A = this chain, B = another copy of it.
Amino acid sequence: MSESKTSGEMSIIDTYFAPLAEGSLGAVDLKDDAGYLEVPEGCSLALTTDAIVEGIHFLAGTAPHDIAYKALAVNVSDLCAKGADPTAYLLTIALPQSVDSQFLEGVQSGLSAAQAEYGCSLLGGDTIRTDGPVLIAITLAGVVQIEKKVHRAGAKPGDLVYVTGTIGDAALGLSLCRGEGTETRDVLNDKQTAHLKQRYLRPNARLEAISLVRDFATASMDISDGLVGDLEKLAAASGVGAALNSTGIPLSDAATLWLAAKPETIESILTGGDDYEVMMTVPAADEDTFLFAAKQTKLDVTRIGHVTPHKTGVQVFGNDGELLKLMRTSYDHF
């Protein structure tokens, strides 16, 4: 309750969030009941929403800049996997009484950096008080030509399974942020340790994948809950199975060294989540042109398996072609 006309919520919006809406005509300076988007003819609007909560999705003490950057990046990652160009987002932020201006400045700078990186701007939002932990929920809108929409369903037996970038870094980085992974001290140098942590704290959504998805993918999704579990979801949606070659998974130098020192790390790499890489299935006949196009984008893509007719889900093969048994296939906060 406020005695003045400049209410607490209004003043937070004016100070920290209105600058993020600058240049966005449809945002009406964040001073209206709604923001507006015009969608080009022949295009569909793709809408995705992802929220993060302190203590669940990020560790207490994480820099607010990183929290906010990641909150937007994980939504961008969803759209990249759908072949949609991100355009504008709505922000819901729940703040406990304890947050100060330093926290809000960090949130602003993190969102600002992510906006610049991903080419979108703030369209609207809601700033609310909570007695609980900080929560940031973002709804991101993007644009894709109607005939280029790509779903999780659509993978066909014989299609090749490709992923962007490297897998497992974020799961290993999370271990390090938690103070675990002491066995790596003799194996990784400081730069490699920092690389893994950074991959967890500041994921990069793969904008370069958008055109590849549009032009080549029969099915696609982003890898957020663990490679194997997410491939299971894609296979289930498509009514197919998949064979995954665990030795072909693209790894960073740091992950390679860690895995060599402790082979059971493969489980975290395959199922740990937070990768925010794009997984897509590509018809075998298109592989050459796909790889040529990928080279133009300067995005690393790696074939990790293929789609099978079996509806029995995903089979993961190890070093000697043996079937791997995983304790779990994905990460679930529930």
Within A304-334, the residues touching B (CB, 8 Å) are 313, 327-334
Complex Cα distance A102/B92, Å?
27
Q: Is A149 an interface residue (CB 8 A)?
A: yes
A35: shortest Cβ distance to chain B, in Å?
5
Q: Are B128 and A51 in contact, with the CB atoms below 8 A?
A: yes
Do the beta carbons of B139 and A79 come within 8 Å of each other? no
Q: Tell whether A125 is near chain B: CB-to-CB under 8 Å.
A: yes
Contact pick for A12, options B81, B92, B313, B334, CB 8 Å: B334
Contacts A1-B328, A92-B49; is A34 near B128 (CB within 8 Å)? no
- Does the CB pair B139–A135 fall under 8 Å? no
| Residue of B5, B32, B328 touching A2 (CB-CB under 8 A) | B328
Q: How many positions in chain A have a CB within 8 Å of any CB in the partner chain?
A: 79
Q: A327-B3, A334-B2 are in contact. Are A92 and B92 (CB under 8 A)?
A: yes
Inter-chain CA distance A91–B47, complex, in Å, is 11
Which of A53-61, A110-118, A164-172, A175-183 lies at the interface with chain B? Answer: A53-61
Is A293 engaged at the interface, CB distance under 8 Å to the other chain? no
Residues of chain A at the chain B interface (Cβ within 8 Å): 1-3, 5, 7-10, 12, 26, 28, 31-39, 41, 44-53, 55-57, 78-79, 81-82, 84, 90-92, 94, 123-126, 128-133, 135, 137, 139, 141-142, 146, 149, 151-153, 221-222, 225, 229, 232-233, 237, 313, 327-334
24 A–B contacts, CB within 8 A, in A order: A1-B333, A3-B328, A28-B151, A28-B152, A28-B153, A32-B221, A33-B48, A33-B78, A36-B46, A37-B39, A39-B45, A41-B41, A47-B139, A49-B92, A51-B126, A52-B128, A55-B131, A56-B130, A57-B128, A128-B333, A129-B333, A130-B135, A131-B133, A132-B132
